[in-house]
Structure 1
Amino acid sequence: MTRYLTNTLFMLIGYARVSTLLQNSDLQQDALTQAGCEKIFTDKISGTVAERPALTKAKEVLRRGDTLVVWRLDRLGRSLKDLIEWMNYLEQEGIALISLQESIDTSTATGKLVFHIFASMAEFERNLIKERTMAGLAAARARGRKGGRPKKMSDEKRKLTVRLYKEKHHSVDEICQMMGITKPTLYSYLKEG
């Protein structure tokens, strides 16, 4: 669906993302097509990956007056910070955002308000979780418990691992296999001394 405003042509550009190759983007693509998107860009990549080629292409195609359409906000942003950065970019460029599942349309004043309320609520929730986690850790420490995973090896085995590495008679892979640890674990032991 193409929008017209004072004889100027505006496009609805869709963006879909599925997290793994096993997932199917048909649901999102069907919804974006039904919403009137003329072009749809799809990434098959985790949301935690910063580089998303299809999203970059969509960004290159978008022009002032166009609308970026997503199935759900989490398809666009990896985090609240990422979503807000996207919103700021789109606003500066004069591009609206529509999220189909949340019924958000930032081309309207109400849509902008709803987006910012959602973003604020998500940030508030994240801060509450962080505060509860910190309070729980402090309470555990007050009772003498330490946070984190228990140590996998005794201090003696750790020292042996470090000594094997420093003697340079074995490769890193051999040491890891002998001790039953991963390379990152070995390197963390080396940092500890």
Structure 2
Amino acid sequence: MSRTILYARVSTADQNLDHQRTQAEAAGFAIDEVIADHGVSGVSTKLAERPEGKRLFDKLRHGDVLVVRWVDRLGRNYQDVTDTIREFMRQGIIVRTVINNMTFDGATTDPVQMAVRDALIGFMAATAQAQAEATKEAQRAGIADTRAKEPQKYRGRKPSFTREQLGTMRDMLAQGAGASAIAKATGLTRPTVQRLREDMAGAERMLVRWEG
């Protein structure tokens, strides 16, 4: 008996799995099961390499219907998306999208229909990748602009210690001094000394960010 499985990819905190199912059901799909990956990039991680993506490949059988909101849920890499859809079609699996109600299957043997179908798959996959790249570029530009206007936002919390204090602490540690003695000599609190002692390299990086 064939099944209808919704695959959802929720890559950010503001994306909602329930919303993707609600959209699919509102479009008339009777969903038997939902398989979803959370916090996974569609650009750098292929569907077959995602935790639930692997399970999706194992579960789907000939005659099943795979529903996705759009092809970007399968991925945002042109080669991966086109390879994935064609592999599903070879297995007799029907791929349908909620948006635009597109259907991709391997039932047709007419060469013209096959050419149109494959061209559409390629176009949609290319659009998904282009959108991802445009979004990433916009994010980079926004980060660069904010870094220039609000550099403190990207420096993290301002260090509660100075380079002189860190230098004194480093020297005293080398001499075997304890946290209480270092705190007294530097004016830092004992908990601060203990925290810095656990990650001196990190403390140095923090100073460099604020001195840059």
* Alignment counterpart, residue 39 of structure 1, candidates 19, 33, 42: 33
* Alignment counterpart, residue 204 of structure 2, candidates 149, 153, 175: 175
Aligned Cα root-mean-square deviation (Å): 3.6
For 1:80-159, list aligned pairs within 5 A: 80-107=78-105, 109=108, 113-114=116-117, 116-120=119-123, 123=126, 126=130
- Give aligned-pair identity as a percent: 24
**Aligned 8 A contact 1:12 1:67 in 2:** yes
Using structure 2 for the length normalisation, give the TM-score: 0.51
Structure 1 residues 122 and 85, CA, compared in 2 at 3 Å: closer, same or farther?
Answer: closer
Q: Which amino acid aligns with 1:179?
A: V
For 1:64-75, list aligned pairs within 5 A: 64-75=62-73
Larger proportion of strand: 1
SS in structure 1 opposite 2:76?
coil
Aligned to 1:162: none
Larger proportion of helix: 2
SS in structure 2 opposite 1:90?
helix
- What 5-or-longer segments of structure 1 have no aligned partner? 1-8, 131-149, 151-168, 182-193
Using structure 1 for the length normalisation, give the TM-score: 0.56
Give the number of the structure whose alpha-carbon radius of gyration is greater: 2
Aligned to 1:135: none
Q: For the residues of structure 2 that align with 1:122 and 1:68, how far apart are their CA atoms?
A: 16
